[in-house]
Structure 1
């Protein structure tokens, strides 16, 4: 499986994907590239865990991949510098956090400002941080989903690019809701947002999102179970 697209000699946007776990969003990105839905190439996959299952997905896809574990560094800042240096060496157009379970330092975030994006399993600004599915169920939310946002130094606080949601079922548990959000929302939403970014339709400037050369005042919201966009 190849991660590259042919682009008539033009520059193909380069992605560095950073993971910690199963790599399911990485897999969706690979599939979108293979299907011609995302005109980009994955230049590098980085994990902070050598045993991350997503690394096997990367290897089977023939991608360059590397592990940089935090345990090998005395200080958090040293790890972040090493991570940043390896990412920069791959000359990315976009740095894609896809289930990366570490909080990044301000210096790291500022180094990749306007090209660092993340997917978070909630409808931000609701439920920043962990245990988002449990919190959505505890609060009786009718809908739940995910948000793709530009990363800023504050946790899960960067401007949102696009969101997607599904209806919460009466019999959902945190585990079933997490699975449905991943397969029905995240794995569709992330490649779609990346396609907008690499096409130049969306960009980050002056702390806000611009879409189609205009300030994005309302974040697009895809209701995947209704096959509609609002």
Structure 2
């Protein structure tokens, strides 16, 4: 049985739903493991969803550790982000030293971890882009996809390294954002707007409510939970092994390419409300 350390910022509903789905997947026997503790980078009172997540974890008998990143040496965070990152995560590692994990899962964790953390234990991260795709927050990823007029989007689980969002991908799933009438209508609407304004002005005016942006986000969120559950299942079963910062298959061979879990994930989405494709 594999022990997962669960690191989160608990910023939004998606972060809570991801934790809840992983917990249920373990309880239902889908994932042969357990969440051994929850670490939250917000203190109680700093967010509705982070409070809810920590309360639920406590009620389920999990140790919960919270250290506010926002309140930790804010002047240093502005002046020297790398130094701040080292000191903050040094405090985190000290707070977690008596708690066991085989792998740490960054699930809606909004801070870049320090190099020391990357070297200390295996860490996986959910990133809302395809392997080799845009880096950054999910908002930055989606706007870059729109700017590049991408044909596909997706999500991946990758190993965390000091290079932001560029550690080796182990699993992913994809979906098209072009090529059928519903998607093409959204691109056409955007193109009409771009005849009289630019993309930066559209971002400023509409933000996350812009229809193409919102549709891409909705489709991505649908896949984040099943991608995470299936990846944790593969790790717990030993189908994917993490050694020395690299992914291997169960026979000890280096995973030459990340596993495309789209065929396993798409059938679970059939009938989802408001589906675009």
Q: 1:117 aligns with which of 116, 119, 124?
A: 124
Counterparts in 2 of 1:17 and 1:182: CA distance versus 1, 3 Å: same
Q: Normalising by structure 2, what TM-score? A: 0.71
In the aligned structure 2, how far is the partner of 1:158 from the partner of 1:95?
Answer: 14
1:66 Cα deviation from its structure 2 partner: 2.2
Provide structure 2 residue ranges, at least 5 long, that are not aligned to the other structure.
77-83, 178-182, 187-210, 269-277
Match of 2:243 among 184, 190, 205: 205
Which residue is 2:256 aligned to?
Answer: 217
Given that 1:17 and 1:98 are in contact with CA atoms closer than 8 Å, whether structure 2 keeps it comes out as: yes
Corresponding residue number in structure 2 for 1:163: 172
With 59-68 and 89-98 compared, the bigger mean Cα shift is at: 59-68
CA distance in 2, matches of 1:148, 1:178: 17
Partner-residue secondary structure (3-state), 1:49 = coil
Instruction: Point out the structure with the larger strand share.
Output: 1
How much does 1:97 deviate? 0.2
Report the count of equivalent residues. Answer: 214
- Cα drift, residue 209 of structure 1: 1.7
User: 1:207 Cα deviation (Å)?
Assistant: 4.5
Secondary structure, in 3 states, of the residue corresponding to 2:143?
A: helix
In the alignment, does 2:176 pair up with 1:137? Answer: no
1:17 to 2:6 alignment: yes
* Alpha-carbon distance, 1:120 to partner: 0.3
SS in 1 for 2:216: helix
Question: What's the CA shift for 1:26?
Answer: 1.5
- Is 1:181 the equivalent of 2:220? yes
1:16, 1:96 within 8 Å by CA — same for their partners in 2? yes
1:72 maps to 2:81 = no
2:195 is aligned to none
Deviations 1:167-190 (A, max 9, x none): 22333522231122112x110001
Q: Which structure shows the bigger proportion of residues in helix conformation?
A: 2
Counterpart in 1 of 2:194? none
Q: Does 1:48 align with 2:57?
A: no
User: Partner of 1:59 in structure 2?
Assistant: 55
* Contact preservation (8 Å) 2:174, 2:262: yes
Question: Does the 8 A contact of 2:159 with 2:245 survive in 1?
Answer: no
> What's the secondary structure of 1:166's corresponding residue?
strand
Give, in whole Å, the separation in 2 of the partners of 1:146 and 1:161.
Answer: 11
* 3-state SS, counterpart of residue 124 of structure 1: coil
**What is the CA deviation profile of residues 96-151 of structure 1, one whole-angstrom value per residue up to 9, with x for unaligned ones?**
00011111111111111xx2110100002110123111211222222211010111
Instruction: After TM superposition, give the deviation of residue 58 of structure 1 in Å.
Output: 4.2
Distance 2:22 2:229 in 1: 5
Equivalent residue, structure 2, for 1:8: none
Cα RMSD for the two superposed structures: 2.1
